[in-house]
Structure 1
Amino acid sequence: MALRHGHSTQMRGYALLALPLAAVIGACTSCSSSVPQAAPVPSTASSSAPASLPVQSPAAAPSATQPKKATASSAPASAATKTVTNNRSKPTTSPTTSATQGDVTPLSSAAASGSGSASFKQLPGSTPALSASTTALYAAVADRNPKAARKALKAGAELEAQDSRGNTPLMRAVLNRDQKVAKTLINAGALPDAKNSSQDSPFLKASALGLEEVLRSALSHGANVNSVDRLGSTALFLASEEGQVESVRILLQHDVPLDKVNDLGWSALHVAIALGQGSNSSLSIVRLLLAAGANPHLSDPSGSNAFDLAEKRNLTQMLSTLRTSSK
C-alpha cells in the first residue's frame, strides 16, 4: 500500500511538471499566429515579376492555421505592395543624370531625344584641311627649298592658305628668315600684308627682323607702309624698336609716316631713344629719322619729348645728336 502510494505520488509530480510546460508551448503557438508580420519590401532583384501583379507578402496570405484576426495585418502589407508597384511604374531620374542634362553635346542630346538631327561642327581654331599641293608647299617652306616651292605652286598650291595660327606660306618663310623662299613666294603673287591671328604680316615682320631683300621685294609688290600691328605700330616703328638700321633706311625711301604714334602714344623716334639705350644702331636710326624730318619736340603720353627721354636716361651722345640735328 505504501509502495503504491509512493508511485502515485511520483506520477502526480510528473503531471504537475507537465502542465506548466504545455501551457508555455500553447502560448508560444498562439503568439506566433496572432502577432502581425511586416510585409517584406521586394528588392530590385525581383523586378522580373510583372508590374501589374501585386506582390503579396506571406503575412497577407490566409492560411488554414492562421486565425481570422490575423488578416488585420494584410492592410499594411497591401499598402506597401501598392507603393512598391507605383514606384516601379514611374521612371526615375538620378541626380547625376539631371545635373548633366544641360551639358551634353549636341550629338549625344540628339541621340537621347531620338530626333536624328545630330550634326558635327568644326571647332574654332582647328587647322583647316589643306590640299596635297598646299601641304607640299608648306613642307618646301619648312625645308627652305625654293625649287620644291615652285613645284608645289605649279601643282596648284594656295599662296594664301593659312595654318592654325593664320600664317601663310610667305609668313612661315619670313619667320624662318628664309629670304630666298620668301622672295619666290612674293614674286609668285603672295600678299606681303596678309595678317595672321596675332595681326602680324610678312611685311611688318620682315621690317622688324631686318630682312632687307624681303622688305624691298614686299615694297615693290605694293606693301602698305601705313599698315600696323595689334599695338598700332608701323613697319618704321618696328624697325626702329629692333635697331634695324637698314630696314629704316629702306623704309625712309618710301612715303612712310614719320611721326605716327602707336596705341601707347610713342613714335619711331621715341622708341629708338627709349629702347635703344644709346647704342650705335639707335644713334644711326635717330640721325636717319631726324634727317628725314621726324619731330623731336613731339611728346609721349607722359609729356616727355625726345630731348627729355635722352636726358632722363643720361644718354649724353644721343642728347648731343638731337641738339645738333635740331639747329
Structure 2
Amino acid sequence: MALRHGHSTQRRGYALLALPLAAVLGACSSCASSVPQADPVPSAASSTSPPNLPVQSPAAAPSSTQSKPSAATSSSTSLATKPATSASARSTSNPAASQGSLAPLSSAATSGSASIKPLTQSGPIHSTSTTALFAAVAEGEVGSVRKALKDGAELDAKDGRGNTPLMRAVLNRDDQIAKLLLADGANPNSKNKSQESPFLRASAFGLEDVLRSALAHGADVNSVDRLGSTALFVASEAGQVESVRVLLQHDIPLDKVNDLGWSALHVTISLGQGSNNSLSIARLLLAAGANPHLTDPSGSDAFELAEKRNQPQMLSALRNSSK
C-alpha cells in the first residue's frame, strides 16, 4: 500500500512539474510563429542546457507562466500589423492599379498619350469648330475640314506657334486642303512666330499649285521672312525651279537683297553648287532681267562667285546673258 502510494505521489509530481515546462515550450512556439524568420541566435537556456533538461522546480512556474501573456501580446500585435503592411506593399508595387482610379482624361494625360498632348500644351483657346478644323488639317481629312468650315471655324486662328490652319496644311505639304482653305478665304500672308507665311513656305517647298492659288488670293510678292528674304529668294535657295518659274510670272523684285546682302542670283550660285537646278534657276533669273553685276557684302558679283566656286557652266550662262 505504501509502495503504491509512493508511485502515485511520484507520478503526480511529474505531472505537476510537466505543466510549467509545457507552458514554456508553448510560449516559445507561439513566439517563433509570430516573429519573422531570422538567423537563429542561441539563447542562454539552449546553449547551456543539455538535451535532457532537468525538471524545473515549482518555484520557476510563475515566471514562465507570466511570460506567456507577453508572448501572446507580441504575437497578436504582429498579426494585427502584418495585413496593413502587405496591403501597403501591394498598393505601392502596383502603380497601374492606382492610376486606374483616375478619370480617363487624367489617366491619358498622366501616361503621356499622344492624342491628349495637344490638350495639355499651352496655347490659344479656340471654339469647338476651330479646334475641329486644326484636328482635321492635322489628319488630312478633307471632309472634316469642310464640316468645320461649315460649322463656322475661324480660318486664320493661330496655334501656340502662330501657325494658322493654312500654314499647317502647307507644312504638311497637303495641296488639297491648302487650296481648299485658300479658296475659302484663308490669308496666305499670315505669319507665325518665326515670321514664316504660307506663301513663303509654299515657295520654298515647291508647292506650285498652292503657290498659284496663294498668288490668286492676294499673296504679297514683296513679303519677307525674318532674314528679309522674299519668296523668290527662298525658292532659289531651295532649288525649286517650278516655284521660281511661277513667281517670275508676277511682278516680283528680282534684285532685292536680304539682310545678309544676298540676292536670289547670289544664293543660287553660292549654295546651288553648280547643280542642274541651280543652273536652271540662274538662267530663269537672268532671262527675267536679274543683274549679274550686283555685288554681295564681300564685293563679289555673280561672275566672281561662280569663278571662286569653280562653276564653269554657271560662268557660261552668265556670259551668255550679258551678250
Q: Give the shorter-chain TM-score range.
A: 0.5 to 0.7
Partner of 1:133: 129
Compute the displacement of 1:176 (Å): 0.1
Partner of 2:88: none
Partner of 1:76: none
Segments of 4+ moved more than 6 angstroms: none
Q: Counterpart of 1:205 in structure 2: which amino acid?
A: R
**Are residues 1:172 and 2:159 paired?**
no
Structure 1 residues 139-197: Cα deviation after superposition (integer angstroms, max 9, x where no partner): 11011112110100111111011000000000000000000000000000000000000
Partner of 1:262: 258
In 2, Cα distance between equivalents of 1:126 and 1:252: 41
Task: State which structure, 1 or 2, has the greater radius of gyration over its C-alpha atoms.
Answer: 1
Partner of 1:211: 207
**Are residues 1:146 and 2:137 paired?**
no
SS in 1 for 2:291: coil
SS in 2 for 1:275: helix
SS in 2 for 1:262: coil
In 2, Cα distance between equivalents of 1:224 and 1:215: 11
In 1, Cα distance between equivalents of 2:317 and 2:125: 55
In 2, Cα distance between equivalents of 1:267 and 1:246: 18
Compute the displacement of 1:326 (Å): 1.0
State the identity as a percent. 76
CA-based RMSD: 0.9
Q: Counterpart of 2:268 in structure 1: which amino acid?
A: A
Map residues 165-244 of structure 1 onto 2, 5 A cutoff.
165-244=161-240
**Are residues 1:274 and 2:261 paired?**
no
Map residues 99-110 of structure 1 onto 2, 5 A cutoff.
none
In 2, Cα distance between equivalents of 1:218 and 1:296: 29
Compute the displacement of 1:126 (Å): 3.8
Q: Counterpart of 2:307 in structure 1: which amino acid?
A: E
Q: TM-score, normalising length from structure 1? A: 0.61
In 2, Cα distance between equivalents of 1:133 and 1:230: 32
Q: Counterpart of 1:128 in structure 2: which amino acid?
A: P
In 2, Cα distance between equivalents of 1:128 and 1:144: 22
Q: Counterpart of 2:204 in structure 1: which amino acid?
A: A
Question: Which one has the bigger helix percentage?
Answer: 2
In 2, Cα distance between equivalents of 1:275 and 1:146: 37
Q: Counterpart of 1:169 in structure 2: which amino acid?
A: P
In 2, Cα distance between equivalents of 1:193 and 1:131: 23
In 1, Cα distance between equivalents of 2:122 and 2:229: 29
Gapped regions of structure 1 (runs ≥ 5): 1-124
Task: Compare 291-300 and 316-325 and name the one that shifted more.
Answer: 316-325
**Are residues 1:326 and 2:322 paired?**
yes
SS in 2 for 1:250: helix
Gapped regions of structure 2 (runs ≥ 5): 1-120
Map residues 17-166 of structure 1 onto 2, 5 A cutoff.
126-166=122-162
In 1, Cα distance between equivalents of 2:142 and 2:240: 26
In 1, Cα distance between equivalents of 2:142 and 2:257: 38
| 2:297 alignment partner, one of 298, 301, 313 | 301
**Are residues 1:312 and 2:308 paired?**
yes
